A and B are shown apart, each in its own frame.
Chain A
Amino acid sequence: MAYLTPRKRATGMGSAKSGVAHFWNMKVSSIGLLILVPLFVFTFGPALGSSYEEMVAYYQHPFPAIIAILTLGVGFMHFKNGFQVLIEDYVHGAAGQYSIIAMNCLCYAAAATGIFSIIRIAL
């Protein structure tokens, strides 16, 4: 450590030991969802409650299927990062870390399950 200058140690670290990656991630995914969410609401909404044959036929069209895949993928990643901030603000110590890890597992699992299901219906 003695050979490391204070400048070198501080470069790229910021006051929180990391940069604005999390903030930037939320911002980019929020803009993505701003486009996807209205498209998803008005494609998914009418399909909800339809019969099995109607539903499968509807999601074999590329547009509603691609919108649903993107919304679940981007949405769950946005949720994962947002939930992390909630926990960091209110839950401290080991309990907070376990909550964030558990929610990471749930979000990736839910996104993968949803995307797999839509692809299986569509193909």
Chain B
Amino acid sequence: MADVNRGNRPLSPHLTIYRLPITAITSILTRITGNALLVAALMTVWWFLAAASGPEYYDFANAVITSWFGDLVMALSVLGLWYHTLAGVRHLIWDQVIALDIKTAESLSWLVIIGSVALTVLTWIIMLIA
């Protein structure tokens, strides 16, 4: 074992040096967005609870949720929600054992990313009109 070359051997694809393919990035983003939605979900429950408690507490919760911080959380959560929804649809498609080849899976990855951004912009346009 003394003459084994330990310095010049091919490295296995490790997370820190491996450029993730788009399918891997969209996969982990599905999990991240899904779990991050807890923040917006709890804020929504708090908003309903405040409204059930009375006008004074509602005004406080409503002010927090529509402050710059609340708007930021809600804006990112709308993006996360549409992303997770489209990525979920992709899983429902894959469950039917279709669109599993690499080329189609990569196209669907881009469709999920572009689609979620488009739906977020559309949502904000509709909200501003309404």
A residues at B contact (CB < 8 Å): 27, 30-31, 33-34, 37, 41-42, 44-46, 48-50, 52, 55-56, 59, 68, 72, 75-76, 79, 82-83, 86, 110, 113-114, 116-118, 120-121
Classify chain B: how many residues form its interface, as a range: 20 to 34
Do A59 and B66 have beta carbons less than 8 Å apart?
no
Do A37 and B85 have beta carbons less than 8 Å apart?
yes
A-B contact count (CB 8 A): 84
Mask of B88-127 contacts with A, CB within 8 angstroms, 1/0: 1101100100000000000000000000000000010011
Residue of A nearest to B89 (CB): A34
Do B35 and A83 have beta carbons less than 8 Å apart?
yes
Would you list which residues of chain B between 30 and 82 have a CB under 8 Å from chain A? 31, 34-35, 37-38, 41-42, 44-45, 47-49, 51-52, 55, 58-59, 62, 65-66, 74, 78, 81
Residues of A within 8 A of B88 (CB): 30, 33-34
> Which one of B48, B59, B65, B123 lies within 8 Å of A114 (CB-CB)?
B48
A86 CA / B52 CA spacing, docked (Å)? 33
Give chain A's interface secondary structure class. Answer: helix
A68 CA / B13 CA spacing, docked (Å)? 45
A33 CA / B89 CA spacing, docked (Å)? 11
Q: Chain A's nearest CB lies how many Å from the CB of B59?
A: 7
> Which one of B34, B42, B59, B66 lies within 8 Å of A48 (CB-CB)?
B66
Q: Chain A's nearest CB lies how many Å from the CB of B41?
A: 7
Residue of B nearest to A111 (CB): B45
> Which one of A68, A79, A114 lies within 8 Å of B37 (CB-CB)?
A79
Residues of B within 8 A of A37 (CB): 81, 85
Q: A46-B127, A79-B37 are in contact. Are A68 and B58 (CB under 8 A)?
A: no
